[in-house]
Amino acid sequence: MPYFNANNTLLERPGNFIVTDIHIIPYHREGEEGIYRQIITDQVLEFNIYESLESHFLSGDMTLIDGVNLINMIPLTGFERLEFKLYTPGEDRGYDFSVLTGHPMMITGIRNKAMLKDRVQSYVLEFSSKERMINDLTKVTSSYTGTTDEAIINICRDHLDTKKDILVEETKTVAKYVAPRVKPTRAIKDISKLSESKNFDNAGYSFYETGLGFHYKTYESMFCDESGTPRPVRAQYSPKIVAYRDEKGDRDIINALQSVSSFNVKSQYDTLRHLNYGTYASKTITHDSFNKTFKVETFDYHNNYEKQNHLEEGNSNGVVPFFNFALGKTISDFPDTVVHFVSDTDKVHNDYDYLGRSHNSDKRISQKAALSTIVLEITVPGFTGISVGEVVHFTHPSFKELKNSADKDNDPYLTGRYLITNIKHMVNLKMTKDHQMIVELVKDSFNEPLPEDNIDLFTGQENEKGLSYSQYNLDKA
């Protein structure tokens, strides 16, 4: 498979992992000179690492069984650094939280402290990227001129003080932005939601962190490369019985790594939510104070679908069916469902783009909301060579009775390409001694189009003889 480069001679079974010694680096140590490292590997029961497209920073938690009173011995105060590495055997990608070759995490809190028995306690350490703490300490008051992707890099380097890699999709938006004394992530959010891609006709960027570093990308660049060619899937996940060996008796670790032990469809359509978000249709009224003009623009999901790249190929494979909803109109023919009032004032910063308004803002809102139409959660063997923002394939069973062996046992709509939006790595060091992942997947399109129909099955199809009554007249009757 495209992303599974794990060496079969090193990976003995799904769930194998490599964790280096886990150290706490305190801010102070009585009687010690230089950097002091307190090894805590023996006390760690398990730990989790979280990645998310909606969270700007990596985070995690670690459960300790403490029989030596580490809390007071170090002492733990919520200002210590946490140092360790996590890798899947045979895989280059992973999490390097070491001082020498990576970037240590910061311990930010302790919770769920409890006594297990005499002089033995358990508690959970919470940790996150160093940049998460710096973000709360810093305010951005600078002005930035040029492409907005350059501004993002400058904010990361100058205000988040990150030394990590930054993977950027170039923007075509050339603007002047003056940060009004806000946190770095707020400045990044303000710039991101109105920046337009250099290669795609869209707006809105995601800023997130993985084990590879920070990313600044649009959804379409996650789906495909700059030519519009779909990116290869990073895994072929499917529910199946885990088999470590193939039909010849040889070890088949790659197949076992892609087995889904359980899955849950968290969301499959939410019409009312999409109506209120403007997924199907919306209207934007803009006011230009400089030229003293008003402009009205409407957004139609079906008309705009083929103008964007999606997870699945095809011009009519969207998650919104095309049919006669009422009175000869489709569900995307009601732009007054959501109305936006925005300023599009020209010459605010001479000839630079005005960041107060993107000409694709309606499309951005609809695209993000459409991605939450189908939301799946799967539990799979842990693998550090996969990250949020990447595409995988998931085979969803059909749950229908098979009439013959030639029938496909796949759901034609829920099977296909998905985008990873959340990963929870769960590493157990003591009991099961394995690495599992809970992965959240989303989808904005289907393998095959939904049925179309131009017959109005709604108008006049219900009882039209309803009457109005006075409550007091009813009381007197």
String of DSSP letters for 189-250:
HHHHTT-BBSSSS-B--EEEEETTEEEEE-HHHHHB-TTSPBPPPS-EEEE----SB-TTS-
The reported pLDDT for the residue numbered 8 is 55
Query: Which of 334, 332, 279, 317 has its CA nearest to residue 451?
Result: 317
Q: 153 burial class (0-12, 13-18, 19+ CB within 10 angstroms)?
A: middle
Mean pLDDT over 32-58 rounds to: 91
User: Is residue 82 within 8 Å of 22, Cβ to Cβ?
Assistant: yes
Tokens (6 digits) for 179: 């940060």
CB under 8 Å to 293, separation ≥6 — which residues? 287
3-class state of residue 233 by DSSP: coil
Q: With bands split at pLDDT 50, 70 and 90, how would you rate the model's confidence at 458?
A: confident
Beta strand extents in 205-364 (DSSP E only): 206-210, 213-217, 236-239, 259-260, 262-268, 281-288, 293-300, 339-343
The reported pLDDT for the residue numbered 167 is 97
Strand 81-83 relative to strand 105-117, pairing: antiparallel
Strand 23-25 relative to strand 81-83, pairing: antiparallel
> What is the identity of the amino acid at 414?
L
Q: With bands split at pLDDT 50, 70 and 90, how would you rate the model's confidence at 1?
A: very low
User: Is residue 383 within 8 Å of 406, Cβ to Cβ?
Assistant: no
> What is the identity of the amino acid at 299?
F
Report in angstroms the alpha-carbon separations of 411 from 47, 110, 407: 35, 44, 11
The reported pLDDT for the residue numbered 454 is 81
User: Would the pLDDT of 409 be above 90?
Assistant: no
Mean pLDDT over 388-409 rounds to: 82
Tokens (6 digits) for 66: 């403490």
- Ranked by mean pLDDT, the top range of 3-17, 225-239, 355-369, 460-474 is 225-239
User: Would the pLDDT of 137 be above 90?
Assistant: yes
Quickly tell me which residue has 């799979």 as its tokens: 380
What proportion of the chain, given as a percentage, has pLDDT over 90? Answer: 64
The reported pLDDT for the residue numbered 316 is 81
> What is the per-residue pLDDT across 188-207, written as a single tens digit (0 to 9) for each?
999 998 888 999 988 889 99
> What is the per-residue pLDDT across 47-75, written as a single tens digit (0 to 9) for each?
999 999 999 999 999 999 999 999 888 88
Number of CB atoms found within 10 A of residue 365's CB: 21
> What is the identity of the amino acid at 248?
K
Query: Which of 84, 98, 110 has its CA nearest to residue 17?
Result: 84
Mean pLDDT over 291-308 rounds to: 89
> Whole-angstrom Cα distance, residue 459 to residue 417?
36
User: Is residue 86 within 8 Å of 19, Cβ to Cβ?
Assistant: yes
Q: What is the separation, in whole angstroms, between the first and last Cα of the chain? A: 76
CB under 8 Å to 369, separation ≥6 — which residues? 273, 274, 277, 278, 279
Tokens (6 digits) for 299: 């957004």
pTM as predicted = 0.91
Q: With bands split at pLDDT 50, 70 and 90, how would you rate the model's confidence at 440?
A: very high
Backbone angles phi, psi at 73, to 5 degrees: -70, -40
What proportion of the chain, given as a percentage, has pLDDT over 70? Answer: 90
> What is the per-residue pLDDT across 339-397, written as a single tens digit (0 to 9) for each?
988 777 655 555 555 555 556 788 888 999 999 999 999 999 999 999 999 999 999 98
Number of CB atoms found within 10 A of residue 259's CB: 17
Sign of the Cα pseudo-torsion (310, 315, 321, 326, in order):
positive
User: Would the pLDDT of 12 be above 90?
Assistant: no
3-class state of residue 7 by DSSP: coil
Mean pLDDT over 213-237 rounds to: 94
> What is the per-residue pLDDT across 78-112, written as a single tens digit (0 to 9) for each?
999 999 999 999 899 999 999 999 999 999 999 99
User: Would the pLDDT of 179 be above 50?
Assistant: yes
User: Would the pLDDT of 250 be above 80?
Assistant: no
Q: What single string gives the DSSP state of each residue in 350-397?
A: TTSBPTT--TTHHHHHHHHHHTTSEEEEEEEE--TT--TT-EEEE--B
Query: Which of 88, 81, 78, 95 has its CA nearest to residue 40?
Result: 81
Tokens (6 digits) for 232: 């290869």
The reported pLDDT for the residue numbered 41 is 96
User: Would the pLDDT of 261 be above 60?
Assistant: yes
Mean of pLDDT over the chain: 88
Out of 1-10, 50-59, 304-313, least confident range: 1-10
The reported pLDDT for the residue numbered 343 is 76
For residues 301, 305, 310, 315, the Cα torsion angle rounded to the nearest 10 degrees is 140
The reported pLDDT for the residue numbered 328 is 84
Mean pLDDT over 116-131 rounds to: 95
Backbone angles phi, psi at 44, to 5 degrees: -80, 125
Quickly tell me which residue has 């150290």 as its tokens: 23
Tokens (6 digits) for 166: 């930054």
